[in-house]
Amino acid sequence: MRWLRVDFDWSFVQRGGPESWDWSRIDVVVREALARGLSVVGLLTYTPEWARPPGTSDKHPPVDPDRFAVFGAAAVGRFAGVGVDHWEVWNEPNISDFWEPRPDADRYAVLLAVVSEAVRSADAGAVVLSGGLAPGSDLADGRQVRDAEFLGRLYAAGVGDAFDAVAVHPYSYPALPGEATDGYGIAGVRAVHALMKRYGDGAKEIWATEMGAPTGGAGSVSPEDQARTATEAYAAWARFRWAGPMLWFSYRDEGPDPNSAAHTFGLVDFDGTPKPALAAFEAAVDALG
C-alpha cells in the first residue's frame, strides 16, 4: 500500500467551538502512516454543530464557507511540514448522503474555491483534489447528481482552476468495473474524463479516492468477485495516461456484521482474516511497478 486517505474532520477537531482545536486523533494516524512509508491524502470534512444551521447534521455545508477555509489552512499549516501535501475538499458532494439537504454544485463551488485558496496560501506546493464524486445517474428528486454532470456544473461556475486533480469514486458493484454502465465503474470514469476534455482540462489527473465492493448486505458481491473487482479495476486504471492513484476502500472490514454492506468493504475481515481480495490487491499493485 502506498497511500492512506485520512479524515481531517472539522466536526471533530473544532467540536467545542471556533476557538477549540483537538488534533490528537489525526496526529496519531498521520504520524503512524508516515512512519510506515505511506503518503497521506487529507480529506477535509465535515461541519461542526456551531457552524451549520440548527437541526442539521455534520453533512450540511457550513453557513460561512470562510470558516471552513480557516480550518483547512490550519490543517495544512500543521501537517505540511511533515509531508502531507495532498488535500481533498469534502466527500461525495453530489449526493444528499454527504451534502444536505440536496447536492448543490454552485454552493459547493463557492466552498471549493475559498478552501482551495486557503490551502494554497498555506502551502504553495499543495495539491488540491475536488471532493470525490459518487457514481450513478441523476435522480428525479435531486438527491443525486451524476458525477460528470456535477463536475460540468463546477466548470460552468468557473472553479476549474481551484483543483489540481479530479477525485471520483468509481464503484461498480454488484457488476465488475468493466461491465458497469450508467455512470458506474470504468464507463463512469471515461465519461468524467470526456467532460474534462470538453473544458480543456483533459491533461489533469483523475484520482479514484475510493474504490471497492462489499462482501455482505445489499448489492454485495462474493469474496471471489471482490477479488476480481480489484484485479480488473487496477488493470483498467493502469491503461489511463491521466490516472492518478486508486485508493481501495478499505483495508479492514468496518464492523463484525457479515450481512452489512457498510461493514464488509475490507480486504480482510473485521478480525483480520484475509479475504481473496487481499492477494488480488497485492498482485495488482505489484503489477503497477
Query: Would you state the pLDDT for residue 289?
Result: 77
Distances (CA, A) of 282 to 63, 164, 288: 43, 28, 10
Query: Would you state the pLDDT for residue 182?
Result: 86
Distances (CA, A) of 45 to 48, 165, 193: 10, 18, 25
C-alpha angle 213-214-220 in degrees, rounded to nearest 5:
100
Count of structural domains within the chain: 1
- Please list, in sequence order, all residues whose beta carbon lies within 8 angstroms of the beta carbon of residue 84, skipping any fewer than 6 positions away: 30, 40, 42, 76
Low-confidence residues of the chain: pLDDT under 50:
none
Full domain range(s) for residue 62: 3-288
Compute the Cα dihedral for 202, 204, 205, 206 and give only its sign: negative
Question: Whole-prediction pTM value?
Answer: 0.97
Helix (H, G, I), strand (E, B) or coil at 89: strand
Query: Would you state the pLDDT for residue 288?
Result: 85
Residue 232's CATH number: 3.20.20.80
Helix (H, G, I), strand (E, B) or coil at 231: helix
